Amino acid sequence: MTSTRDRDFDLVIFGATGFTGELTAAYLAQNAPDDLRWALVGRNQAKLEAVRDRLADIDAELKTLPILIADAADQASLAAVAERARVVITTVGPYLEYGAPLVAACAAAGTDYVDLTGESEFVDRMYVEHHATAVASGARIVHACGFDSIPHDLGAYFTMKQLQPTGPVEMRGVVRSNGTFSGGTFATAMEGMARMRQAQAAFKARLKAQPASQGRSSRAVSGKPGRDSVLGVYLLPLPTVDPQVVARSGAALTSYGPKFRYSHFAGVKTLRMAVGGVAGLGALFAAAQVPPLRKRIKARVPQGTGPSETKRARSWFSVDFIASSEGRSVHTKVSGGDPGYGETSKMLAESALCLAFDDNPATAGSVTTAVAMGDRLIDRLQAAGITFEVVD
């Protein structure tokens, strides 16, 4: 494995000129340790300097924050950045379009990597293409380090610590939020809906490539719509990357029991909202299959835009987990503020800091947040204001 202790930077942010990238940089400017060695990375020097000037308004010492020039389409420039950093943060999406060369560079250099992707096809393809290289180099490739999928992955991990099962486990996660999305997030979601066949093919390729759990099983299962008797909300199955991530943690960690099943839902207050949600999602899915219509709809929410600071300040999220095993059950909750941006930038930054500085489990390759960081990242997020609690 490659030692990275003597590299120039503890972490770098690729995509710092984007909406979420700059929020992540601002979070580090406010909260990172004073001796953190970090840099901004992108392809436009002038835009990076403008971001640095705004960061200097938070901390005057950041006037001299290093800037590195690299392009997502230039493999040599990405390799040069990866070889100088211990951890790379990237917010440059859609990841299917721009992300693979950076994963390749980090896997080859033994550099830890974190991103915000919710693109299941991308995650599966990167496992097939780069997991073995990352294992050999010692790199930890950790996808989905924002609202996709930290509250769900670490929430399930936290719940299993309370339940401590010895037999089969049934768990459901129910997410609620009033947050809004950016143009980039919306564009990624629309493209994902248009690539369901490709995503299924990538999933099957990953299943063939990854070793099976010996004597244990862990799967995401599609739940049924209905009313939750514990939470008092209507449940809508969510076809996101989150249940896949949770199931992969369940396969890797014996603390999830010998047979782990996880279902993932959105929770809404009324039947009318539930019906409207299903209808709206169906309409978007249908529109995503028609390229000209998909392009027109995406243009209505331009990439690079996002909710205002006032809107973000009013936003919140919660994820309830209800798990049962052999007649015992536990109810936990993860909650916080604005999920898509304020808390996502916090989660991403703390993930990178955790990889850089904390005493984490020994692992390498394409791994989940629960496997790579587990308790250490929960501790960091709790200290940063995200709540993990046992409800009953």
d(CA 125, CA 119): 10
Low-confidence winner among 72-76, 256-260, 290-294 (lowest mean pLDDT): 290-294
- How much is the pLDDT for 297? 63
Residue range 252-266, pLDDT digits in tens: 999 999 999 999 999
Beta strands in 121-222 (DSSP E): 140-142, 169-177, 217-220
Candidates 59, 49, 66, 61; CA nearest to 7 is 66
| 198-206: long-range pairs with CB below 8 Å, 24+ | 198/121, 199/120, 199/121, 199/124, 202/120, 202/121, 202/124, 202/125, 202/128, 203/120, 203/121, 203/124, 203/244, 205/124, 205/125, 205/128, 206/124, 206/127, 206/128
pLDDT at 36: 97
Residue from 98, 81, 94 nearest 40 by CA: 81
Q: Which residues, other chains included, contact 68 with Cβ-Cβ below 8 Å and sequence gap of 6+?
A: 12, 39, 40, 41, 81, 84
- pLDDT exceeds cutoff 90 at 332: yes
- The beta strand positions in the chain, using DSSP E, are 9-14, 38-42, 67-69, 85-90, 112-115, 140-142, 169-177, 217-220, 226-227, 234-237, 259-268, 317-325, 328-336, 365-366, 387-390
Q: Encoding tokens for residue 81?
A: 């950045």
Other C-beta atoms closer than 10 Å to the C-beta of 172 total 22
Nearest to 165 by CA among 326, 334, 390: 326
What's the rounded Cα separation, in Å, for the pair 2 and 382?
31
Of 292-296, 357-361, 377-381, the least confident: 292-296
Angle at 221 between CA 189 and CA 262, to 5 degrees: 95
Give the CB-side neighbour count of residue 112, counting CA atoms within 13 A: 31
Delineate the domains of the chain, giving CATH numbers in brackets: 9-145+342-384 (3.40.50.720), 150-336 (3.30.360)
pLDDT at 270 over 90: no
Nearest 5°: phi and psi at 357? -125, -20
Least confident of 100-109, 266-275, 314-323, 345-354: 266-275
Say whether pLDDT at 305 is over 60. no
Reported confidence tier of residue 392, pLDDT bands at 50, 70, 90: confident
